[in-house]
Structure formats: structure tokens, C-alpha cells
A = this chain, B = another copy of it.
Amino acid sequence: MRSYGQYCSIARALDVVGDRWTLLIVRELLLRGACRFTDLKAGLPGIATNLLSARLKELDEAGLITREDAPPPVATVLYALTEDGRALEPAVRALGRWGLRRMGEERPDDAFRAHWLAYAPAWFTTAADPEAPAAVIQLVASGEEAVIEIDGGEVRTRVGRAASPDLVLDGPPRAVLGLLTGVIDLARATELGLSGQGDMDVLRRLRPVEGDVPGAPSATGF
């Protein structure tokens, strides 16, 4: 990317990560940890291989990622964020929090991945009642599965299935994520096709983070 030529930390940040796809590659590496070219490609539907290749080279040169040969059994290159790269997390998070207000807009052809279902509650909610017993929520949306584990004051998430969740939420991504992030209420989520099985009260254990997340459903189409 051509430099902005401005002595301003925002411009300098964008000199490095302002290119198309770059921050989404960082997102993938933040969510997945060290992974292969093919994993990245799978998590970045729509990217061309030459572009992914070029961006990884740029990120490497900028010192944001490392390319290391995996140990023998794997025998491939693994990409991972450096400390400098991981330090982008607050910026990526803040962008994602702002982006929540655009999640109501319906675009049925959008790609969707299980780990995106997972990171949203991890990044944009907190545990409401640290004293309460641990709880597990199974999420299913567009066939993608993720698990929320609320334990003490912590909200952890992962891709996949839980053995015996307290609650199973199933529905279109808009309904599941909108409800979890507090952008819509249960009634609206149900209208959008959400179905819940189990103890719906555990939902109260998740509190959407404050900040720029709109408390009231704005006119975004939810």
C-alpha cells in the first residue's frame, strides 16, 4: 500500500494494515492461532490465493506474523501473529464492536463460519453474575456450531458441540448473534426464526459490553 505520508499514528497504522483483506487476515490469526495457508483461505471466503499470498508476505515483512515450519508430522508452514500483530486485537475488537450495528442488514449470500459465531459472545459480552454456577450454551446457526462456557466472571467460547448444554439456541445467524450481543430482544429473535431448547434463563448470565454497541435497536434492519 502506498503510504499516506502523514506523521500521525492512525495514518501509520493504516500504512501497515489499511490494505484490503489485511485486517481480516489478522482476525483469522487472532481467532485461530497458528494455522496453515489453507486454513486461512477457508476462513477468508472470497479471497484470491495470490492476494492471500501477497498479504502474508507483507505482514511478514512488517513483522506482524511469522512463518515457521511445523514439526515433522505436519510438514507445512504455519503462520502466527507476533507480539506486534497480537497487539492489534483491541483495534480489531473495536472495529467489530462498531460493525455490530451493521449486522441487522440482511444479506443472505454472506458467508458464515463457526469461529465467527464463537468470537462474538467472547468479545462482545461479559458474565453478568460471577457468583452463579457455570453454564454452557450450545449455538447452532446455518449449520455452524459453537459453544459458550460461562464460568465465574469469564465467558469462553469454542467451535463445536457441547456434551450436555444448559441451553441450545438454533436459528439464522442474525437471530442468534443479534440476541447474544443484545442488539435485539428475545421476541424479535424468535420472529427472526430463533428456537431455544433448555433453560432460557442462562441468557441473563450474558451482558452485552457497553461502549459503542447500540443499546437500543437502531434502524439497521434487525
Question: Which residues of A line the B interface, CB within 8 A?
Answer: 1, 3-18, 20, 23-24, 27, 45-46, 84, 87-103, 105, 107, 109-113, 116, 120, 173-174, 211-212, 214, 218
Q: How far is the CA of A94 from the CA of B93 in the complex (A)?
A: 9
For A99, the chain B residues whose CB sits under 8 A away are 8-14, 16
Closest 5 CB pairs of A and B: A13-B99, A9-B99, A7-B110, A91-B94, A87-B212
Residue on B nearest A20 in the bound complex, by CB: B18
Q: How far is the CA of A89 from the CA of B4 in the complex (A)?
A: 20
Residues B102 and A16 in contact, CB atoms below 8 Å apart:
yes
Residues A5 and B94 in contact, CB atoms below 8 Å apart:
no
For A20, the chain B residues whose CB sits under 8 A away are 1, 18
Contact pick for A9, options B5, B13, B96, B109, CB 8 Å: B96
Q: How far is the CA of A96 from the CA of B92 in the complex (A)?
A: 12
Contact pick for A96, options B13, B107, B211, CB 8 Å: B13
Q: How far is the CA of A3 from the CA of B108 in the complex (A)?
A: 13
For A110, the chain B residues whose CB sits under 8 A away are 5-7
Minimum Cβ distance to chain B for residue A162 (Å) = 22
Q: How far is the CA of A89 from the CA of B20 in the complex (A)?
A: 21
Q: How far is the CA of A212 from the CA of B85 in the complex (A)?
A: 10
For A93, the chain B residues whose CB sits under 8 A away are 94
Whether A97 contacts B6 in the complex (CB less than 8 A), given A20-B18, A24-B14, comes out as: no
Residue on B nearest A62 in the bound complex, by CB: B102
Q: How far is the CA of A88 from the CA of B100 in the complex (A)?
A: 12
Contact pick for A5, options B1, B103, B111, CB 8 Å: B111
Residues B120 and A6 in contact, CB atoms below 8 Å apart:
no
Question: What are 9 sample pairs from A and B whose C-beta atoms fall under 8 A apart?
Answer: A7-B111, A8-B112, A9-B103, A11-B99, A12-B102, A13-B95, A84-B218, A87-B101, A91-B95
